[in-house]
Amino acid sequence: MTDADASPPFRLAYVPGVTPTKWVRIWAERLPDVPLTLVPVSASDAPDQLRGRSADVGLVRLPIDRTGLSAIPLYTEIPVVVAPKDHVVAAVDEVSIADLADELIQHPLDDVLVWDRLPGLPAADRPATTADAIELVAAGVGLLVVPQSLARLHHRKDLVYRTVSDGPESRIALSWPEDETTELVEEFIGIVRGRTVNSSRGRTPAAAEPRKKRPAAAAARQKPATGTRTPRSGTGAKGGKPKGGKKGKPRRRS
Are both 159 and 179 inside the same structural domain?
no
Residue 61 belongs to some domain of the structure: yes
Are both 46 and 15 inside the same structural domain?
yes
pTM of the complete model: 0.74
Give the integer Cα–Cα distance in Å for 245 and 86: 110
Whole-angstrom CA distances from 103 to 92, 124, 140 are 16, 13, 12
Give the integer Cα–Cα distance in Å for 160 and 1: 51
Whole-angstrom CA distances from 138 to 98, 124, 130 are 23, 17, 12
127 contacts 118 by C-beta, under 8 angstroms: no
Give the integer Cα–Cα distance in Å for 73 and 177: 15
Are both 45 and 108 inside the same structural domain?
no
**What amino acid is encoded at 110 in this protein?**
D
E-strand ranges in 129-211 read: 143-147, 159-164, 170-177
CA nearest to 21, candidates 149, 148, 146, 131: 149
Are both 31 and 91 inside the same structural domain?
no
Give the pLDDT confidence of 64-97 residue by residue, as tens digits: 999 999 999 999 999 999 999 999 999 999 999 9
Strand 143-147 with 79-84, pairing: antiparallel
Give the integer Cα–Cα distance in Å for 91 and 162: 9
- On the question of pLDDT at 250 being above 80, the answer is no
Higher pLDDT, 228 or 32: 32
Question: Residue 245: which pLDDT band, with cuts at 50, 70 and 90?
Answer: very low
188 contacts 71 by C-beta, under 8 angstroms: no
Give the integer Cα–Cα distance in Å for 130 and 231: 91
- Residue 176: CB atoms within 10 Å: 22
Are both 16 and 71 inside the same structural domain?
yes
Are both 156 and 176 inside the same structural domain?
no
Are both 58 and 182 inside the same structural domain?
yes
- On the question of pLDDT at 160 being above 60, the answer is yes
Of 168, 201, 229, the position where a domain reaches its end is 168
Give the pLDDT confidence of 92-113 residue by residue, as tens digits: 999 999 999 999 999 999 999 9
The DSSP output letter for 224 is P
Give the pLDDT confidence of 11-63 residue by residue, as tens digits: 999 999 999 999 999 999 999 999 999 999 999 999 999 999 999 999 999 99
Name residue 59's beta-bridge partners.
14, 174
Q: Tell me the three state secondary structure of residue 67.
A: coil
Are both 24 and 145 inside the same structural domain?
no
pLDDT of residue 196: 82
Percentage of residues of the chain with pLDDT beyond 70 = 76
Total tally of structural domains belonging to the chain: 2
Domain span holding position 16: 10-76+171-192
CATH of the domain at 90: 3.40.190.10
